[in-house]
Chain A
């Protein structure tokens, strides 16, 4: 079983729509969780950390479900500029080793 699994998509949504997707992780002792955004042929950029109580940053909402071992990302009022691949990143322990998902591709169309 992969350490971090994501639905590769693509999720094709119209502008203004809401899109949500999950990421599952295998190590129940995982400590930290992040969502990164990666545009085509560019570097991953930190979108947001995911906190136990859930957190929101503008149109983006992240949730953590420890019991079911998944995190989610919800994008409200999608913009064309939200088109990207979203990487789920999990820190299984209390060190520098991060486990990366292969990414979920979101395409927002006009």
Chain B
């Protein structure tokens, strides 16, 4: 059972809809991440939070809006998305932002399809 849970697992939405992705980690970690994984491409880092403060906004379009109300929960609010936004969205957490020798633990992802 994963220590990082994401809901929903699948989401189909139209370009004018508004929806939110949710991530919850049960590992007591202080850092959380959103990644985008498109088919056959490497994971792309979108946002990073440490102790509920955003430390990275990796040139992500404003139609993606993250929210981190506490160190265990992370949301990604979606509005007016484009077809090219269809992808697997992965949440991850790590103990801290230290990075070195500190792996990130991933949730099982939300597969998003934009019609």
The count of residues in chain A whose C-beta lies closer than 8 Å to any C-beta of chain B is 25
Knowing A43-B90, A96-B31 are in contact, say whether A32-B40 is a contact too (CB < 8 A): no
Q: Chain B at the A interface: mostly helix, strand, loop or mixed?
A: loop
Q: Which residue of A lies closest to B38 (CB)?
A: A102
Interface of A is mostly: loop
Q: Chain A: residues with CB nearer than 8 A to chain B?
A: 4, 8, 31-32, 34, 41-46, 49, 87, 91, 93-103
Kindly state whether residue B101 has any CB partner on chain A within 8 Å.
Answer: yes
| Across the A-B interface, the 10 shortest Cβ-Cβ residue pairs | A100-B42, A43-B106, A100-B43, A95-B99, A96-B97, A96-B99, A43-B108, A46-B103, A102-B42, A94-B100
The distance from the CB of A110 to the nearest CB of chain B, in whole angstroms, is 26
Quick one: closest B residue to A92, CB to CB? B99
Most buried by A among B43, B100, B102: B43
Q: Is the CB of B98 within 8 A of A96?
A: yes
Contact B107 A98 (CB under 8 A): no
10 contacts between A and B (CB under 8 A): A31-B101, A41-B88, A43-B107, A44-B43, A91-B99, A94-B100, A95-B98, A97-B45, A100-B42, A101-B42
**CA of A42 to CA of B88, assembled, Å:** 9
CB interface residues, B 74-96, toward A, < 8 Å: 88, 90, 94
- CB pair A43 B31 closer than 8 Å: no
